[in-house]
Amino acid sequence: MLPWELLGEARTPDGAPMALTRRGNEYMILVDGKDLMSSRMFGSEEALVTIGCERARTMAAPTVLVGGLGMGFTLRAALRTLPAEARIVCAELMPAVVEWNHGPLGPLAGHPLRDPRVELAVGDVGALLRASPGRFDAILLDVDNGPSAFTLQSNAGLYGNAGLEMSRAALRPGGVYAVWSASDDRKFEHRLRHHGFRAVTHHVRARLSKGGPRHTIFTGLLPVAHGD
């Protein structure tokens, strides 16, 4: 078996070591020695876009937020799904991840950062949401491992009450809030409903029709108009 090759290193805001590694055609990003994402499994990221952009894809010029660049698969799926006049804002906290997507990870997803529909925002997605009232038709969050399993503890606030409030405020009427998660979380479903979303939970495979572990897509839907 081929050994893993170290391609890049960085530190998270929490101070944990982060590494990009490669073995043959497979790439993996690790945080503190633990697998965060692999290029072998991205079907559930594509499902996040299919589910979260069901309404936005029918609009002439939607504005969609992709929270978390990762290896570029979610952004690629959004570009394939949304119309030519769409605007996609991609927020990524780690400058190293952006650098890796401009470098060795770029070919994996077909260099989605080069698409003119993409606006890259390097920084905290929470800060972007707070500064964007009524801006988005869909918010797709692929940040960490979901609402309850964190690689970075600083991500916890994004899925708490304050995080849901700012996400709801950043959506337009009829907007969709969609979250990728490694596992179920009934408390998060209840929290979505408490903050005025119509919560729907989907279970998908990491490799879609090819199997793999099960992942969860949480969606929170807003009414098209007040009182609907």
95, part of any domain = yes
86, part of any domain = yes
H-run or E-run covering 139: strand 136-141
Q: For residue 152, what pLDDT band results from cuts at 50, 70 and 90?
A: low
Please answer whether residues 103 and 41 qualify as being in contact, where contact means their C-beta atoms are separated by less than 8 angstroms. no
CA-wise closest residue to 182 among 145, 217, 141? 145
Burial class (CB in 10 A: 0-12, 13-18, 19+), 207: middle
Please answer whether residues 190 and 161 qualify as being in contact, where contact means their C-beta atoms are separated by less than 8 angstroms. no
Instruction: For residues 89 and 98, give the distance between their C-alpha atoms in angstroms, rounded to a whole number.
Output: 14
193-225 pLDDT tens trace: 999 999 999 998 766 556 567 889 999 999 987
2-60 pLDDT tens trace: 899 999 999 998 899 999 999 999 999 999 998 888 998 788 888 999 999 999 999 99
149, part of any domain = yes
Greatest pairwise CA separation for the chain in angstroms: 60
Q: Report residue 30: phi and psi, to 5°.
A: -120, 145
- The domain containing residue 174 runs over which residues? 40-221
The position carrying tokens 């290896």 is 71
23, part of any domain = no
pLDDT of residue 151: 52
16, part of any domain = no
30, part of any domain = no
116, part of any domain = yes
Instruction: For residues 7 and 154, give the distance between their C-alpha atoms in angstroms, rounded to a whole number.
Output: 26
175, part of any domain = yes
Say how many domains are in the chain: 1
CA-wise closest residue to 118 among 167, 142, 82? 82
Q: Report residue 58: phi and psi, to 5°.
A: -90, -5
CATH assignment of the domain containing 118? 3.40.50.150
Per-residue pLDDT at 80 exceeds 90: yes
pLDDT of residue 228: 44
Which range has the worst mean pLDDT, 77-91, 106-120, 189-203, 204-218? 204-218
